Amino acid sequence: MRDLGGTGTATLARPDSRPDARYRAGLCHVVIADDSPLMHLAVRSMLAGAPGLTLAAAASTVPAAEQLIQRVRPDLLVCDTAIGADSGVALCRWTRQASPVTAVVMLTSRDEPLLVQSALAAGAIGYLLKDSAAEILLASLGLAAAGRLVLDERLGTQRHRTGLADCVAELGLSRREREVLEELMLGLDNKAIAARLCIAEDTVKSHVKAIFRKLGARDRAHAVALALGSAPPSTGPGLPQPRRAVR
């Protein structure tokens, strides 16, 4: 592997003298986007002995991944749902538009129904958990490369993370507010959400304010974390206030 000029966060597996990105018929070229160097090593090791799959490049940031995807045009992108401070789901959506030949599989530790739904809506062909056995991951990636939808069979079975994620309905979010929340989870701004939902930008702003109030969120990132159950609930207008001792 070698550095992709200037970024320091992306590597290519082959020199530029290689032929077209489909190098050898039947060989699936994979790009991984993950901010963990250990995941890069693990995937590289896993693919090293896998027939039909080869690691073409790796990136640890979303901008580096976008640069690699445009340059390599891989058959398969394997990425986490969050890459540093950026959204892997948003990267998935961008990839499906910028490189339609590239299928996307989310490989994450997050078993969250709303996140799975957002990833599939963004165009992902697979959603797999990182603690899967290597042979299962390899088989799933092979199926994804062949155009088959692959979902970890354990998705949705982990119900120990109740918290706010299981209480969204009880907080009174309207159908439109739920739709806006799902777009927030994709990392979209108000203008993009308005265009996707065919509503006015000011209407989106009103829905976002209502979501913050009902979830007790400080900002967008906090609202997404609360909705996914990855942050403790805050006390706010939409949440129960702690009782004061009666003196």
pLDDT in the model for residue 164: 44
Each residue of 16-56: pLDDT tens digit? 333 343 334 468 999 999 998 888 988 888 888 788 899 99
pLDDT of amino acid 231: 52
Contacts of 20 (CB under 8 A, 6+ apart): none
Q: What is the pLDDT of residue 155?
A: 83
Rounded CA-CA distance 37/199 in Å is 41
| Entry pTM | 0.61
Average pLDDT of span 166-184: 75
Token representation of residue 141: 């990636």
Residue 8 has pLDDT above 50, yes or no: no
**pLDDT at position 174 over 80:** yes
The residues, ordered by sequence, that sit 6+ positions from 224 with a Cβ below 8 Å of its Cβ are 181, 184, 185
Q: What is the pLDDT of residues 216-231, one digit of tens each?
A: 888 887 887 777 655 5
Q: What is the pLDDT of residue 232?
A: 52
Residue 153 to residues 119, 122, 130, 137, 237: CA-CA distances in angstroms? Answer: 16, 20, 13, 12, 38
Residue 244 clears pLDDT 90, i.e. is over it: no
* pLDDT tens digits for range 100-144: 999 999 999 888 887 888 888 889 999 999 888 888 999 999 999
Does residue 241 register a pLDDT over 50? no
Q: Is the pLDDT of residue 3 over 60?
A: no
Q: Dihedral angle at the C-alpha atoms of 9, 11, 16, 17, nearest 10 degrees? A: 170
Task: Specify the pLDDT at position 20.
Answer: 41
- Residue 228's pLDDT is what? 63
In contact, 59 and 3? CB cutoff 8 Å: no
pLDDT by residue (tens digit) across 55-84?
999 999 999 999 999 999 999 999 999 888
- Looking at the predicted structure, is the pLDDT value of residue 194 above 60? yes
Domain 2-151 falls in which CATH fold? Answer: Rossmann fold (3.40.50)
Count Cα neighbours of 49 within 13 Å in the Cβ-side half-sphere: 5
CATH dotted code for 163-227: 1.10.10.10
Pairing outcome for strands 150-151 and 86-87 = unpaired
* Portion of the chain with pLDDT greater than 70, in percent: 75
DSSP symbols for the chain: -EE-TTTSSEEESS-TT---TT-STTPEEEEEE-S-HHHHHHHHHHHHT-TTEEEEEEESSHHHHHHHHHHH--SEEEE-SEETTEEHHHHHHHHHHH-TT-EEEEEES---HHHHHHHHHTT-SEEEETTS-HHHHHHHHHHHHTT--EE-TTTT------GGGGTTGGGT--HHHHHHHHHHHTT--HHHHHHHHTS-HHHHHHHHHHHHHHHT-SSHHHHHHHHTT-SPPPPSTTSPPPPPPP-
- According to the model, what pLDDT value does residue 68 have? 95
Q: Enumerate the domain spans of the chain.
A: 2-151, 163-227
